[in-house]
Amino acid sequence: MLKPLDVVVGLKAHLWADTAAWTYERLAGAIGISPSQAHMSLGRLEHAGLYRRSDRSLRTHAFALFAAHGIPFAFPAGLGEQVVGLPTAHAAPPLRDLLTFVESYVWPAPAGVLGRALVPLHPAVPEAAAADARLYAALALIDALRVGRARERSLAVIELEQLLAETGRDTRWLAAQHAAGLAP
């Protein structure tokens, strides 16, 4: 069974710029978890058919489908009172520039903007997101799927697929499969 941390670890692994420098220790350190947690998270994602260990990437389309239709139900958003924190969901990039909104959501943090508290997928999310703009965008999009209305969710899925596709890993993996005679 998938855990919320698995989403965070999978996104970080997929968005890692230099896969040659990627190790479980570095991945875990970038998120603020133990290497064994990172290893177990990727194992659960692989078992669910959402991650390919061979090229250390999420299966973009499958993950986007799970994000759109599974995450809101499997990991529903916990909302709290007005607090200061790091903007998320539609209050963060990339949706912030595409939508107008009345209420902001934030991950509680010592500094930031005022908004309604949204419990992150894992306690390490605000710090990990603050250190990596692409991870921040991906996690904010996941939160838009958790709390958004139909329009926000629709835009979040499109933006998430585009962000994940930027790595080109699905295309490179498929080309390698063809070259090896493993794909039609």
- Indicate the pTM of the whole model: 0.90
Show me where the domains of the chain are located: 4-73, 77-164
**Token representation of residue 157:** 């899925």
Please write down the HEC assignment for all residues of 145-183: HHHCCHHHHHHHHHHHHHHHHCCCHHHHHHHHHHHCCCC
Q: CB–CB of 76/85 below 8 Å?
A: no
Residue 179: what pLDDT? Answer: 62
Per-residue pLDDT tens over the stretch 59-117: 999 999 999 999 999 999 999 999 999 999 999 999 988 887 778 999 999 989 999 99
Per-residue pLDDT tens over the stretch 123-177: 999 999 999 999 999 999 999 999 999 999 999 999 999 999 987 766 655 555 5
CA distance 39 to 4: 14
CA-closest candidate to residue 108, choices 87, 85, 88: 85
